[in-house]
Amino acid sequence: MFKLDEAKLQAVLKQLHQAIYNHERWHNDLIRTIICQQPHDQHDMAKDAHRRCRFGQWYYNDVPTEVREHQAFLAIRAEHKYMHQLATQLLATASTKAAIAPHDYDAFANALDRLRLEIQTLEREIEESLYNHDPLTGALNRIGMLTSLRALHELVKRQVQRCCIAIMDLDHFKAVNDSYGHAVGDKVLSASVGYLMDHLRPYDKVFRYGGEEFLISLPSTDLQAGRTMIERIREELGKTPLAFHGSKPIPLTVSFGLAMLDPDVIVEETIHRADKALYAAKTAGRNCSWIWDTVNAAPVA
């Protein structure tokens, strides 16, 4: 997930596409130089050739910090540099009119394939952030929610792991919009979901379920551990000013309903149970979390 607004992320993707095009042109020119025994570009023989090529100029200079620190972006660095080192060796051999050894060319080709894979991974992750996430909050879109939960459900049925889900709802959110306006309401919504995602584990997922409702999947988590995690987040959210109207912080609390993915029922039924637990939490006064008790088939505090 990239913490950039849609316009900036679109700009990064456009720059990446141009960088990929430049890289492919560089590769074509390199092969042509070797095969046709033409003079090579001196930049390709430099120790910092990976910084001088047009892809490297983009990679090392023109990328926002939010992208530069992302794991998919960082993974490109070593592969790109190593590929250029092997390219320099090929050019050095070609300049002597000697034949290039097959294993030297294979090493270069393999390094090029690994680099392309890393670049394609970055491209895919940027596209997923753009097209599979809610642009306001950064949560995943609802469209992929059932697919993700069904995959987790299969692991539950095979007794590979347990999985807890939770539904979060912002308390009295309509009153925030009515009192402060929708622009402030959007800031509150975005900040609350951002706080939630920042305090979950990397493999937990947050989906925008409804207007101000969000579904959270917590893999490898039983109901007690899930309740502990959610309660910690709920309590901290209630103490954290999420937006300001003038100089006055806007108070906000959230309610949660939790349920376990049950191997004996479909995913939709588990969501329905978490929704019932959420309704019970809101009926009980809000700013609390309730769980679905499978034994008694009812929500409990």
Nearest to 73 by CA among 10, 12, 134, 136: 12
Tell me the C-alpha to C-alpha distance, in Å, between residue 229 and each of 190, 222, 235.
Answer: 20, 11, 10
Beta bridge partners of 206: 216
Tell me the C-alpha to C-alpha distance, in Å, between residue 258 and each of 121, 210, 230, 239, 289.
Answer: 34, 16, 9, 22, 7
Tell me the C-alpha to C-alpha distance, in Å, between residue 152 and each of 25, 35, 132.
Answer: 43, 51, 19
Residues noted as catalytic: 212
| C-beta pairs of 75-79 under 8 Å, 24+ apart in sequence | 75/118, 75/121, 75/122, 76/115, 76/118, 76/119, 76/122, 79/111, 79/114, 79/115, 79/118
Q: Who's near 230: CB < 8 A, 6+ residues apart?
A: 166, 216, 256, 258, 289
